[in-house]
Amino acid sequence: MRVVLTGAAGFIATNLIPRLLARGDEVFGVDNFFLGRRSYLERSLAHPRFHFFEFDLLKVEPLAEVFAEAKPDLVWHVAANSDISYGTAYTDFDLKGGTLVTYNVLEAMRRSGAKQLIFSSSGAVYGEPTVMPTPENYGPILPISLYAASKVACETLISAFVHNYDMRAWIFRFGNIIGPYPTHGVIYDFVKRLLEDPSQLKILGDGTQAKPYVYVEDCIEGMEFGFTNARDAVNCYNLAVPDQTSVTEIAEAVIAELGLDRRKVDVHYTGGSRGWRGDVPQVQLDTTRMTALGWKPRLSSADAVRRTIAEVVAQFRSGVIS
């Protein structure tokens, strides 16, 4: 397939690109390095079927040019501001970097005749639901961050474009995705801070915040599986694992992986039930629809966390991550 991949230098895309190239796809990647990293792209840049374009997806002209050249069979749209805290600090951040960017991608698709879109949404769309695990048809959807509000807006725009312009879309509401080549996130953060200062670790909240952590390969295989097997015009699925891991469990596992003497690390909590405003402290996503389709993750949350910590520590130590 010919694939336009937005957010090509980010965490999920860095893990996705080698898979797309290995299966024979021609990949047209776009990123502005707002959160993504040039070093992560390097291993793909030399590949003859990978083409990279550096610009901000808020700019419609270069985007139209990429679509005209690529004539994509599939648009894999993962670019967004993936850091919730920016959206709290600047109220138009997710509106522009999430919603408007997604509108631009949809409009480029409409103008160029591209018909198929995979979109990375988030379980954050549910806000603080009263039903847990939360199914896709839970409502009313009342997000508590501007990041999640933007994901809801993107989903509704996608649905409207699909129905007006004969497109098809696969929307995946992720749990927390983890694995090698992170750009940010709790594991990245804890490893980095403990390598800088092994004597202490500050944890936001009370450490009981717990989420389903999904290994990035499971996430990518889940999206591929959904794309192949879900046949509606708009397909919307939770993509997660059944178990959760707490922030304290992650901190303890990072300390152990780094080989630190636990008694010499001062772990202190800022307190309160959530890490930051807009953070959903307890997340459980109902994955019955994905499993009914035939998809099964290989790793539990506990295994994904263990494996990722080992990989991220190794990548920091070898200089792949800084």
Which residues are at the interface with ligand NAD (CB under 6 A)?
Answer: 7, 9-12, 30-36, 56-58, 78-82, 97, 101, 120, 122, 174, 176-177, 183
The first and second tokens of residue 76, run together, are 């894999």
Q: Extract the runs of DSSP E, i.e. beta strands, from the chain.
A: 2-6, 26-31, 50-54, 74-77, 116-122, 168-174, 176-178, 200-203, 210-211, 213-215, 234-239, 245-246, 266-269
Four-residue CA torsion sign, 170, 85, 10, 296 = negative
Q: Which is nearer to ligand NAD, 30 or 251 (CB)?
A: 30
What is the spatial distance between Cα 305 and Cα 311, in angstroms, rounded to a whole number? 10
Q: Do the Cβ atoms of 95 and 146 come closer than 8 Å?
A: yes
Q: Which is nearer to ligand NAD, 7 or 275 (CB)?
A: 7
What is the spatial distance between Cα 128 and Cα 132, in angstroms, rounded to a whole number? 10
Q: Which is nearer to ligand NAD, 97 or 207 (CB)?
A: 97
Minimum separation from the CB atom of position 13 to ligand NAD (A): 6
Q: Which is nearer to ligand NAD, 62 or 198 (CB)?
A: 62
The first and second tokens of residue 314, run together, are 């190794």
Q: Which is nearer to ligand NAD, 11 or 265 (CB)?
A: 11
Minimum separation from the CB atom of position 199 to ligand NAD (A): 29
What is the spatial distance between Cα 280 and Cα 129, in angstroms, rounded to a whole number? 10
State which residue has the least CB distance to ligand NAD: 10
Minimum separation from the CB atom of position 21 to ligand NAD (A): 18
Radius of gyration of the chain (CA): 19
Minimum separation from the CB atom of position 266 to ligand NAD (A): 28
Among residues 81, 38, 308, 41, the alpha carbon closest in space to that of 190 is found at 308
Minimum separation from the CB atom of position 16 to ligand NAD (A): 9
Q: Which is nearer to ligand NAD, 101 or 280 (CB)?
A: 101
3-class DSSP state for residue 164?
A: helix
Minimum separation from the CB atom of position 232 to ligand NAD (A): 21
